[in-house]
Amino acid sequence: MHAPRTLRLLLIVGLLLAVAIPGSLALARTNAAPDQAPLPTQAEPPKAIELIPQDDVDEGKTPDGVYGSQFAPYQPLDQALQAEVEPNNTAATATALASNDGVVWGAVFPNGDLDYFSFTANAGDRIYAAVMTSFSSNASTDSVLTLFASDGTTVVETDDNDGSLGGSSSSIAGANIVSGGAYFLQVKHFSATSHLRPYHLHVRVQSGSPTAEVEPNDTPGTANALPAFGWMTGTTSSATDADWFSLALNAGDTIYASLDLDPTRDNTQWNGSLGIGLFSNYYLTVNDVTAGSATNPTSEAHFMTVRETGTYYIWVGVPAGGTTFGDYNLSVSVHPAAPETCTTYTSTDVPQTLGPGATTASSTITVPGNPRIADLNVTVELTHTVMTELDATLMAPGGNEVGLFTDVGQSTAGVFVTMTTTLDDEAAIPIAVYLLQPGPAFEPENVYRLDWFDGQDAGGAWTLKLTDDTANTNGGTLLGWSMRVCEPTPPPVCPGGTTPVTVYSSDFEATDGGFTHSGTADTWAWGSPTAAPINTCNGGVNCWKTNLTGTYTASSNQDLVSPNISLAGLVGPVVVTWSQKYQIESASYDHAYVDFREVGGANPSRLWEWYGATMTTGVGAVTVQESAGWGTRQRDLSSYAGQNTELVFHLDGDSSIQYAGLAVDDVSVTACQPAGATFTPTVTPTVTPTPTDTPTPTNTPTATPVPAGFTCSTPNVAIPDNNPTGVSDTLNVGSTGTLNDVNVFVRATHTWVGDTSFSVTHNATSVTVVDRPGVPASTFGCSGDNITATLDDEAATPVENECAASVPTINGTFIPNNALSAFDGMDQSGAWTITAVDAAGGDTGVLVEWCVQTETSVPPTATPTDTATPEPATATPTDTATPEPATATPTDTATPEPATATPTDTRLLSRRRLRRPTRPCRPRLHRPTPRQRSSASSRRRRRSAPRPHWTSPTTPRSPLRPPQPRWCPPR
């Protein structure tokens, strides 16, 4: 047995000993009122089962490093969970809640991550919010939840430990809203050196007034019916008083119950307990004994997903041994299951004998056809004399095996001998937190995931394996089991007036598809994998894998990158499809993800990311090598239409313990071609194993390559924080010529770019090309991060107004703050100096690279260093339908531009191309909330004025859609 299982058994033993000790965690009974008829399903009064104590136990290994994530992972959402959208580590970038009554799936990852969520509330509203962390795959469950006022910095209430699911999780109940407006919830781990992957954030904004309880309501038979809005107020009058409330639920509904134990905020608090039931005449309770305070009132939070339609109950009372009581407010939310297209397959290979003795029983279900799995749930019904002797795994037709639970339930013979439950990744809480197993739906244990089957073809024989891991006389019976397979929604179709086209496709059978790979200890290889558990490809015999014959290497950091995939002239939907199979160590140590981005690294979208626990499990004396199956995944990435893109598969690991890694097969990209347009697909050879002649992308994540005709310097120097002197760097232009035009390229990594300014000096003339973007329109300027920009007097958009939601926040070609025409008429030769200044404290950055592009009346004689062969004067530019003759004279200059000075990159453009766009610009996007941010510095806390934002009348920005570029010159 592994260590967490041993710890769990010790906790269970302690709980059982407590049953016999007066005033301890005993099974509590409620007494029926004398004049009340008994409930039809009750042979005796209902009994309470308390939560198994949960410690915050992180994995026992120190990570070699931490790894970042810019975008939230895709999640199939049974419980209609909203996905967190990264980056959201400030109030200014907060993920907007889709509802004031909902649940968010999020991850505090990497270490030190902060997650902000925004919502609106009216004066007098009460806020109920809680974090469920029991499913975190690293077993560390200690969260901190803070409610901030509209400025993003003033704390309304904060909580560390009032939650019970899991240990040291957080709950805020009944926080009072004084004035209407935007508010923010922040979720973080208590320790900056740990993380939560994942957590559920439950939020309910209650308006108006709660309904008062009506006594007597001391039993389920006299329970008060909850009003539709689920808000009650009541009082316990003694340590034996209890209040019951009833509600009707449908199968699959999830309850969030929140108990405010100081509703008047007068610091008169008491130790209350909260229960949900009835399940086999039991109600399951939570009780956190943390003492409250005036600034952190005590509360309780409970969550449950039900399997069956019927009447259920909420219980409010005093825990066993409790002596305090008083007034409370109770908020109850019901979250229906998300609508899905699902089919349930039931096994006929039952019953099966379980034990006695150390044996494994197997039962099968054969799924007809080939339904694709978007979500998989498993229902199990069994009996066993000692439930903790059972380990369960599920094996797919493809051979990949995944754990479901090990040693859950009661360890005393003859107690709680029945399990009837549904395992669902999107259920409210994991299976291991209560001794009683009949009734609710649970998540699998925190180290297992049913989503490891996602994307697989479900057709064929599935095998449920139940192992009795103890050699004794205890045994039981598998009575039945079933699987619910939900299929993905069809991909979006092309709009009218367009036709679907395949932009890129490779099955990797005859060739490597033009993919390239690089990195530290890089083992990516194309061919036939032979090392279990990844020893097949999705289709055919060839695919890509991180080492075809074994595990990935220690301390690796490696990328597999597609050829350039041009979406020029195409419109959405843009659908990316790929198949993958993986076996990876815990994400605390090893890391994998799939990104789609512009060529060179700009504007990445995270399509998938590894968040799980180590993919092995102990079943009796055997270690099962778990793995995900070959799953096909699709993502709609229409925001990339018109751009030059690439797909990246990444894996990195620490210095110890490696597994089979990541394998990739069957990659395609489709889009829509407008009527009358022409399109050339990205072609890969299919006969001989020769890479395509598509330019090979680099794996360096630079946002924008520098085109020909620029003279550049890469100082990579820090910009001093809040220092008017700043930092300077000088480059020299060797050739002479009278300047007709100057453009400047700047690449800097800096948080809150509204702090920064950049000035260029030549021949004693200085021009400030970027001057604190957004200031003075707002007090503190653009709060976005990083600049990758060409400053050109003839551009279409002022850099002053640019502040995109993506990173870099300023990305493209813009009009400088002050005209570069101040240099016109000078000789270009000699020293050019850039000075970068940070004008406010708290945010820092680096001047990475800068360049000068000049146009003179005497063309330079030197050939640009990054252009090996000048283009002929009659050459047609690669990105425009109609060539401009090299002899044509631009309207604003007397001298033609040399053909060799035409930029080859499609984003840093000459004046000539900017004046003649070949397609209309993309509508500009707006940020969903005022641009404000929170910071530990006192300067940031004093800031309150929001930055103005810019809107598009046609394209509001969805918080769940990858950000789109805001610059839009022709491609």
Least confident of 169-183, 188-202, 457-471, 869-883: 869-883
d(CA 255, CA 204): 12
d(CA 515, CA 667): 11
Element (H, E) at 609: strand 605-609
Which whole number is the average pLDDT over 158-167? 92
Strands 440-442 and 622-625, bridge-based pairing: unpaired
Structure tokens at 414: 């003859």
| Nearest alpha-carbon partner for 745 in 705, 785, 778, 688 | 705
d(CA 5, CA 371): 36
Which whole number is the average pLDDT over 756-774? 96
Which whole number is the average pLDDT over 936-961? 30
3-class secondary-structure state, position 31? coil
Least confident of 172-181, 190-199, 695-704, 832-841: 695-704
Query: Could you tell me which residues are beta bridge partners of residue 528?
Result: none
Q: 918: pLDDT confidence band, cut at 50, 70 and 90?
A: very low
Q: What is the pLDDT of residue 160?
A: 94
Structure tokens at 364: 């099968």
Q: Which residue has the higher pLDDT, 401 or 675?
A: 401
Of these ranges, 17-31, 771-785, 953-967, the one predicted with the greatest mean pLDDT is 771-785
Q: 380: pLDDT confidence band, cut at 50, 70 and 90?
A: very high
C-alpha distances in Å from residue 115, one per residue of 145, 309, 575: 10, 35, 29
Whether 836 has a pLDDT exceeding 70, the answer reads: yes
Q: Which residues neighbour 122 within 8 Å (Cβ) at sequence distance 6 or greater?
A: 177, 180, 207
Report yes or no: 792 and 815 within 8 Å, Cβ to Cβ.
yes
What residue has token string 């425009």? Answer: 880
Report yes or no: 317 and 241 within 8 Å, Cβ to Cβ.
yes
Sign (positive or negative) of CA dihedral 952, 953, 955, 959: positive
- What stretches of 292-445 adopt beta strand conformation (E)? 299-306, 310-317, 327-335, 341-346, 352-354, 359-367, 375-384, 390-395, 401-406, 418-423, 440-442
Question: 524-552: per-residue pLDDT in tens?
Answer: 999 999 999 999 999 899 999 999 999 99
Q: Which residue has the higher pLDDT, 817 or 72?
A: 817
d(CA 586, CA 584): 7
Which whole number is the average pLDDT over 256-278? 95
C-alpha distances in Å from residue 136, one per residue of 53, 200, 372, 392, 446: 16, 10, 27, 20, 6
Q: What is the pLDDT of residue 734?
A: 79
> Phi and psi dihedrals of 69, rounded to 5?
-140, 130
Whether 933 has a pLDDT exceeding 50, the answer reads: no
Least confident of 34-43, 77-86, 237-246, 509-518: 34-43
Which whole number is the average pLDDT over 782-797? 93
Omega into 198 within 30° of 0, i.e. cis? Answer: yes
Strands 310-317 and 273-279, bridge-based pairing: antiparallel
C-alpha distances in Å from residue 427, one per residue of 6, 27, 100, 287, 338: 25, 25, 20, 21, 12
Element (H, E) at 3: helix 3-19
- Specify the length of the chain in residues: 971
Q: What is the pLDDT of residue 901?
A: 35
d(CA 357, CA 353): 11
Q: What is the pLDDT of residue 315?
A: 98
**% of residues, the chain, pLDDT over 90:** 67
3-class secondary-structure state, position 834? strand
d(CA 832, CA 816): 17
Q: Which residues neighbour 641 within 8 Å (Cβ) at sequence distance 6 or greater?
A: 567, 570, 571, 572, 574, 671
Number of H helices, E strands in the chain: 3, 55
Q: What is the pLDDT of residue 941?
A: 28
Whether 7 has a pLDDT exceeding 90, the answer reads: no
d(CA 365, CA 349): 7
CB atoms near residue 77 (< 10 Å): 18
Question: 506-519: per-residue pLDDT in tens?
Answer: 999 999 999 999 99
Report yes or no: 116 and 91 within 8 Å, Cβ to Cβ.
yes
Q: What is the pLDDT of residue 338?
A: 84
Q: Which residues neighbour 878 within 8 Å (Cβ) at sequence distance 6 or greater?
A: 904
Structure tokens at 85: 């959208």
Alpha carbon 959 to its chain's center: 12
Cα atoms found within 13 Å of the Cα of residue 905, Cβ hemisphere only = 20
Question: 626-672: per-residue pLDDT in tens?
Answer: 999 999 999 999 999 999 999 999 999 999 999 999 999 999 999 99
Structure tokens at 600: 């060179």
Q: What is the pLDDT of residue 78?
A: 59
C-alpha distances in Å from residue 666, one per residue of 365, 509, 598: 28, 9, 21
| Nearest alpha-carbon partner for 434 in 320, 302, 299, 613 | 302
Least confident of 77-91, 468-482, 937-951: 937-951
Instruction: Classify residue 687 as exposed, middle or buried by CB count within 10 Å of its CB (0-12, 13-18, 19+).
Output: exposed
d(CA 261, CA 272): 7
Question: 722-738: per-residue pLDDT in tens?
Answer: 999 999 999 888 788 89
| Nearest alpha-carbon partner for 296 in 156, 167, 157, 155 | 157
Of these ranges, 177-181, 340-344, 890-894, the one predicted with the greatest mean pLDDT is 177-181
Strands 710-713 and 845-856, bridge-based pairing: antiparallel
d(CA 923, CA 749): 26
Q: What is the pLDDT of residue 908?
A: 27
What residue has token string 């889009």? Answer: 671
**Concatenated DSSP letters of 161-177:** S---SSTT--EEEEEEP
CB atoms near residue 885 (< 10 Å): 10
Q: 46: pLDDT confidence band, cut at 50, 70 and 90?
A: confident
d(CA 448, CA 393): 10
Whether 498 has a pLDDT exceeding 70, the answer reads: yes
Query: Could you tell me which residues are beta bridge partners of residue 546?
Result: 524
Q: What is the pLDDT of residue 558?
A: 98
Query: Rounded to 10 degrees, what is the CA torsion of 360, 363, 368, 369?
Result: -10
Q: What is the pLDDT of residue 17?
A: 32
d(CA 911, CA 116): 41
| Nearest alpha-carbon partner for 86 in 98, 68, 100 | 68
Structure tokens at 36: 């009340």
Which whole number is the average pLDDT over 606-617? 94
Strands 82-83 and 101-108, bridge-based pairing: parallel
> Phi and psi dihedrals of 790, rounded to 5?
-100, 130
CB atoms near residue 621 (< 10 Å): 9
Which whole number is the average pLDDT over 578-584? 98
Q: Which residue has the higher pLDDT, 829 or 958?
A: 829
Q: Which residues neighbour 693 within 8 Å (Cβ) at sequence distance 6 or greater?
A: none
Question: 389-404: per-residue pLDDT in tens?
Answer: 999 999 999 999 999 9
